[in-house]
Structure 1
């Protein structure tokens, strides 16, 4: 089933220019249930909002690939497995090596890397491309190396001029992002040894771009929310209108309290590959894509309070089949989308999905909405 190409906004006269920048995933492990949730939400935001506005999707190669944890992992592989062939590995095999690396990592792991794509990372991205295609999500810039439009020194100088950074590098110290005037704590940006963290990479991507857009929409998991609130503050100081979507991770059986990061493992049997193996051939591509979206947006919602339940996912696949079989006439899609965007520039996937199901129960779901957003 081919992926649909974005179409011009339905109401071009009211369209705004929107930059949508969800936090990228590092290519070091399988796509877990939490990753699947984030990717599906981002896909719905991008496609639904794109029917109202001119939306550019930003996938940051620097944040997703050229970060300390990823580069450190690749250097670790080169030291411990010189010359290893990863071309036949699956995601779980490489992910297991990453989990082991996290248990033993050292601060000097990044120094030997030039940031080039490692064979293990290339294999992960190749496998992810298949998972995304199964889910009906376009790759975007997933496998396209890019450079941020501003260097680290230029970013720091700009932030210092805005009184948003404290730079102690001339004395051998670090750089901190400073939003204390807004009641937020100092946040490290560059360590004393010159190593910049992922937040610096996020700002290098966004700061030079925001003035070209009417709105910026950020999306991240809730563990990253404090950092992205800082990013939002910086962009607003630059005059941008910024929306921020924070999503809870997917809680699995037996998980209590804070949901651990995927870097610690625990995702065996609970990955995008496992979802496809269980459902795709049985229900077919269209039902699979819609069923995943009904489950990860309409059933699990924004938060992390509801644990993953395979039986509910099975029900969503069944409901997706009925929705596709009993489609209604094409409706005023633009007006429906606007109703689920207010007061934001972006369309809320939870509100849109629950409304789609309510519409299906009454008169059949809007076939245009299904085609352009959910399939």
Structure 2
């Protein structure tokens, strides 16, 4: 494991708040949450999440425009997250997306004011309630964080380092240039002048990374090509990147985007309702982590199964009983944070350190080569020995 004095920036791909949290999203949040809460006990760690990154994407802005044109009188506060998700599915099926060069008033307002459409505000509030019940640290889902650099500043830096081909002066697009590594040119700004998510990420990350800083990129496995290029660019500019790709969770045998539907009955809200009818909140939190981390693994393609989730809940209940962790140690609404830095030796609000004096040393045995704690190895290890109350309280509950 690398020295604990070196800072690690945890940068997961953001999710557009246009639909309910589905098994693939839940898996991502639980892997990142377990990684964050364990790694911050052994080294300096910053968890960075910027809602503007998702709110500036074309799929989000085109959906906002669709709602404003086709459903102008909609009261978003009366909609459930699932209701919004059904509207999102119908939007994608309708072919009603307008070109981005006609929607600059949305991007300009987001850039200038941090403005968020009422639909996304409502969806995010629903996410916060559900993730709080699950005990997931809030990285700043509603925080307003202006991008650290402008589009022009970022492109200029990349061009100087021969990492970008910029044709905007001739009415064309701009490309990330990874040809030195045998990678094809990747468009990051279209001819319509709209920047895609890769450039939005670079606008945020590049000014925040000092020479030698480590950054962990967590992303969907189907974005691996983009993130491999992103890691190369960050490395060329002096950072020390590593990646954690996570496989999607198929629903009914299909691992596809939420925009295509077919996810009814599988949202996080529905899963919480089913589990909490039978199990205590502490069992729900630990059982969800056992299932989505240890049982589904990082890249496993096994479809979501309620019977296996129930089995994980039963096992979680036995673990908590064996460790002597009472249900009262669980507090509602997570830790209420808005992103931030974890320091070695910090304890979580869900319990005291009791037997946790040697917890950092124990966690260090599950470190990946880049110095972050591997959620799968750590969680799978819970099945092999009785977990300590400190580990459960500070990392899993």
Q: Is the 8 A contact 1:18 1:213 kept in 2?
A: no
Match of 1:4 in 2: none
Relative contact order: is structure 1 or structure 2 higher (C-alpha 8 Å, sep ≥ 6)?
Answer: 2
Q: Is the 8 A contact 2:211 2:239 kept in 1?
A: no
Q: Secondary structure at the match of 2:297?
A: coil
- In the alignment, does 2:43 pair up with 1:53? yes
Q: Is the 8 A contact 1:189 1:200 kept in 2?
A: yes
Match of 1:8 in 2: none
**Superposed, which structure 2 residues align to 1:119-268 within 5 Å?**
119-211=118-210, 214-255=213-254, 259-268=255-264
Distance 1:212 1:282 in 2: 51
Report the TM-score, using the length of structure 2 for normalisation.
0.87
Match of 1:358 in 2: 384
Deviation at 1:201, TM superposition (A): 0.3
- In the alignment, does 2:281 pair up with 1:285? yes
- In the alignment, does 2:34 pair up with 1:34? no
Deviation at 1:212, TM superposition (A): 6.8
Deviation string 1:228-253 (CA, Å, 9 cap, x unpaired) is: 11110111001111110000010122
Distance 2:258 2:300 in 1: 15
Q: Secondary structure at the match of 2:318?
A: helix
Distance 1:281 1:19 in 2: 38
Structure 1 segments, 4+ long, off by >4 Å, are none
Deviation string 1:295-339 (CA, Å, 9 cap, x unpaired) is: 000000001322211111101101111111101793632222111
Counterparts in 2 of 1:14 and 1:198: CA distance versus 1, 3 Å: closer
Deviation string 1:144-191 (CA, Å, 9 cap, x unpaired) is: 121111000000000001110000111111100001110111100101
Deviation at 1:85, TM superposition (A): 0.5
Deviation at 1:226, TM superposition (A): 1.0
- In the alignment, does 2:315 pair up with 1:324? no
Distance 1:48 1:334 in 2: 8
Match of 2:396 in 1: 374
Distance 2:355 2:299 in 1: 31
Distance 2:239 2:6 in 1: 13
Q: Is the 8 A contact 1:356 1:366 kept in 2?
A: no
Structure 2 segments unaligned to the other structure (5+ residues):
325-353
Deviation string 1:196-243 (CA, Å, 9 cap, x unpaired) is: 111110111111111176311110011111111111011100111111
- In the alignment, does 2:60 pair up with 1:70? yes
Match of 1:5 in 2: none
Q: Is the 8 A contact 2:212 2:238 kept in 1?
A: no
Distance 1:249 1:229 in 2: 18
Structure 1 segments unaligned to the other structure (5+ residues):
1-12
Distance 2:99 2:4 in 1: 50
For 2:272, which of 249, 256, 276 is the aligned residue?
Answer: 276
Match of 2:307 in 1: 311
Distance 1:170 1:261 in 2: 35
Match of 1:10 in 2: none
Could you say what the CA RMSD is over the residues aligned between the two structures, in angstroms?
Answer: 1.7
Match of 1:335 in 2: 361
Q: Secondary structure at the match of 1:283?
A: coil
Q: Secondary structure at the match of 1:189?
A: strand
Q: What is the number of equivalent residue pairs in this alignment?
A: 357
Which sits farther off after the overlay, 346-355 or 62-71? 62-71
Report the TM-score, using the length of structure 1 for normalisation.
0.92
Q: Is the 8 A contact 1:169 1:175 kept in 2?
A: yes
Q: Secondary structure at the match of 2:124?
A: helix
Deviation string 1:48-93 (CA, Å, 9 cap, x unpaired) is: 1111111111102221222211111111100111131111111111
Deviation string 1:127-148 (CA, Å, 9 cap, x unpaired) is: 0011110110122210012111
Q: Secondary structure at the match of 1:245?
A: strand
